[in-house]
């Protein structure tokens, strides 16, 4: 994969070194064009009309669902798309606004009972922690597993937490603050042995590495389109829908029903919900964002996820190793020599004597380098690690180059020398 050639599709890179893709990725020209084509050529609502442009919009929107399902290995969705009803019963890919909405749909869609238990970790982004914390108001118990200093979780802790009859486990595949990759397949096996469902927050992993929901064997997979070259306002909730934990739609309204009986007098009335993703996408969705997400998946598939991952891991090793060799710099998370599957391209560090925001501002002013600074929506984790002001975070993607990493390292070394 030639990152230098790819960069021509991202004009913004002429002016900056962008190292904040864990927050939101940049968008290539083909994705922008796909969104513009919808607005210019066939803007119409989906699932509601038979005229030509409406049919085209509906086709492209459905095709986007199929593309996303294929990316994560959901054969069930592919079967459903071909008309196989048995496929719909095993897997559904729902478009949402982002991973946050996807997780909240699960949290609000399960019929919880007082005394139910959820297990999660202190590593989680607030989006995979706060929805479960809110359920305490309903009498749901929450167990939180603590990681070690590098973000690793002890499988014995999972076994202990789940063996007491937990109903659901929720874990991030790749930490958005430390870059640690969790063994979600192993966690899934523990969940199965204990009778618990598993939700995986894959917002940081789906854009960067090959992933297959059948191999993970999770019940829910949540991720955001805007972190994988897609438009903002695009996200995904994949559900196994095997009957273990089917969820109620978060919204009810137009487009998600087959039949409605309003009811009169003492008759309360009723409505029947459509099968597949339409039953969970009430109202007019962000059609352009969905089509743009489909175009982003096309882009990723052409480059091949394995090649993207290999490219990023080479840059990550270069960055972590370089930072570890700079006096006054502390790197958090797994080291540069860790195994291939133990860390991703999210690298957090601090410079002694400087606040993270100060370092980020200096990097921008001195070299046009864009990095994140602060708590990264992981305040409980930062408190656990004793990082009152958080960290500086550089996060990599397919359009970054070795020259950019070297520029970051040289600038960090200069700042550290002055601190």
Classify 92 as helix, strand or coil. Answer: strand
Which one, of 178, 255, 183, lies nearest residue 216 by Cα?
Answer: 183
Mean pLDDT for 141-167 is: 96
Strands 235-239, 257-261: pairing is unpaired
Q: Which residues pair with 244 in a beta bridge?
A: none
- With a cut of 70, say whether residue 75 has pLDDT above it: no
Query: In the prediction, which pLDDT does 244 show?
Result: 55
Query: In the prediction, which pLDDT does 76 show?
Result: 52
Tell me how far CA of residue 29 lies from CA of 35, 76, 264, 366, in angstroms. 10, 31, 54, 28
Please provide the average confidence, as pLDDT, over all residues in the chain.
93
Q: Which residues pair with 117 in a beta bridge?
A: 141
Question: 157 exposed, middle or buried (CB, 10 Å; 0-12, 13-18, 19+)?
Answer: middle
- With a cut of 60, say whether residue 82 has pLDDT above it: no
Backbone φ and ψ for 348, nearest 5 degrees, come out as -105, 140
CB 122 within 8 A of CB 170: no
pLDDT band at 85 (very low <50, low <70, confident <90, very high): very low
Tell me how far CA of residue 77 lies from CA of 89, 278, 339, in angstroms. 9, 13, 33
Overall CATH class of domain 3-21+304-418: alpha beta
Q: Do the domains spanning 3-21+304-418 and 42-301 agree at the CATH topology level?
A: no
pLDDT tens for each residue of 247-291: 999 999 988 888 888 887 777 788 888 889 999 999 999 999 999
pLDDT tens for each residue of 283-310: 999 999 999 999 999 999 999 999 999 9
pLDDT band at 83 (very low <50, low <70, confident <90, very high): very low
pLDDT band at 164 (very low <50, low <70, confident <90, very high): confident
CB 102 within 8 A of CB 236: yes
pLDDT tens for each residue of 381-390: 999 999 999 9
Q: What's the full length of the chain, in residues?
A: 419
pLDDT tens for each residue of 349-359: 999 999 999 99
Strands 168-172, 197-201: pairing is parallel
Give all strands of the β-sheet with 235-239 in edge-to-edge order. 92-96, 235-239, 220-224, 197-201, 168-172, 117-121, 141-145
Query: In the prediction, which pLDDT does 308 show?
Result: 97
CB 394 within 8 A of CB 179: no
Query: In the prediction, which pLDDT does 336 show?
Result: 65
Query: In the prediction, which pLDDT does 87 show?
Result: 36
Tell me how far CA of residue 246 lies from CA of 91, 131, 212, in angstroms. 11, 18, 20
pLDDT tens for each residue of 18-66: 999 999 999 999 999 999 999 999 999 999 899 999 999 999 999 999 9
From CA 41, how far away is CA 303, in angstroms rounded? 27
Q: Lowest mean pLDDT: which of 135-144, 255-264, 291-300, 395-404?
A: 255-264
Alpha helices in 195-304 (DSSP H): 213-216, 287-303
Mean pLDDT for 65-86 is: 69
Query: In the prediction, which pLDDT does 315 show?
Result: 96
CB proximity list for 154: less than 8 A, separation 6 or greater:
145, 148
- With a cut of 50, say whether residue 138 has pLDDT above it: yes
Q: Where are the beta strands (DSSP E) in 149-229?
A: 168-172, 197-201, 220-224
Q: Report percent pLDDT > 70 for the chain.
A: 94
How many CA atoms lie less than 13 Å away from 341 in the CB half-sphere? Answer: 7
CB 296 within 8 A of CB 228: yes
CB proximity list for 36: less than 8 A, separation 6 or greater:
none
> Domain 42-301 maps to which CATH number in 3.40.50.720, 2.30.22.10, 3.40.1380.20, 3.40.640.10?
3.40.640.10
pLDDT band at 86 (very low <50, low <70, confident <90, very high): very low
Query: What are the sequence ranges of the domains in the chain?
Result: 3-21+304-418, 42-301
Indicate the Cα dihedral angle 332, 333, 338, 339, nearest 10°: -160
pLDDT tens for each residue of 177-218: 999 999 999 999 999 999 999 999 999 999 999 999 999 999
- With a cut of 80, say whether residue 129 has pLDDT above it: yes
How many CB atoms neighbour CB 154 within 10 A? Answer: 12
From CA 216, how far away is CA 386, in angstroms rounded? 32
Q: Which pTM was predicted?
A: 0.93
Query: In the prediction, which pLDDT does 296 show?
Result: 98
CB 350 within 8 A of CB 359: yes
Residue numbers annotated as active site: 377
């Amino acid at each position: 994969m030639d990152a230098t050639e790819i960069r021509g599709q991202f004009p913004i890179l002429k002016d900056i070194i962008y190292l904040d893709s864990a927050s939101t990725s940049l968008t290539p020209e083909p994705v922008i064009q796909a969104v513009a084509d919808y607005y210019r050529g066939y803007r119409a609502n989906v699932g509601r009309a038979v005229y030509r442009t409406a049919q085209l919009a509906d086709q492209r929107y459905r095709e986007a669902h199929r593309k996303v399902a294929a990316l994560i290995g959901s054969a069930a969705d592919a079967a459903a798309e071909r008309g196989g009803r048995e496929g719909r019963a095993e897997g559904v890919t729902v478009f949402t606004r982002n991973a946050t909405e996807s997780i909240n749909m699960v949290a609000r869609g399960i019929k919880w009972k007082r005394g139910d238990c959820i297990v999660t970790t202190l590593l989680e982004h607030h989006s995979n922690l706060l929805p479960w914390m809110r359920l305490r108001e309903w009498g749901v118990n929450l167990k939180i597993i603590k990681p070690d200093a590098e973000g690793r979780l002890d499988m014995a802790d999972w076994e202990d937490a789940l063996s007491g009859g937990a109903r659901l486990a929720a874990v991030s595949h790749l930490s958005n603050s430390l870059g640690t990759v969790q063994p979600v397949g192993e966690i899934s096996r523990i969940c199965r042995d204990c009778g618990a469902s598993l939700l995986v927050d894959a917002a940081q992993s789906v854009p960067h590495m090959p992933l297959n929901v059948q191999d993970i064997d999770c019940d829910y997979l949540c991720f955001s389109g805007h972190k994988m070259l897609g438009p903002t306002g695009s996200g995904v909730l994949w559900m196994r829908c095997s009957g273990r934990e089917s969820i109620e739609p978060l919204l009810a309204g137009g487009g998600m029903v087959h039949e409605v009986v309003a009811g009169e007098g003492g008759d309360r009335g009723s409505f029947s919900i459509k099968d597949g993703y339409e039953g969970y996408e009430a109202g007019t969705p962000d059609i352009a964002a969905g089509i743009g997400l489909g175009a982003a998946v096309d882009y990723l598939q052409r480059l091949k996820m394995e090649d993207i991952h290999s490219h990023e891991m080479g840059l990550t090793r270069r960055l972590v190793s370089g930072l570890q060799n700079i006096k006054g710099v502390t790197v958090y998370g797994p080291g540069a020599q860790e195994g291939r599957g133990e860390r991703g391209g999210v690298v957090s560090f601090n410079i002694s004597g400087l606040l993270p925001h100060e370092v980020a501002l200096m990097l921008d002013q001195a070299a046009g380098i864009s990095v994140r600074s602060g708590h990264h929506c992981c305040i409980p984790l930062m408190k656990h690690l004793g990082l009152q002001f958080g960290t500086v975070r550089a996060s990599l993607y397919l359009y970054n180059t070795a020259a950019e990493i070297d520029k970051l390292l040289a600038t960090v070394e200069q700042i550290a020398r002055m601190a």
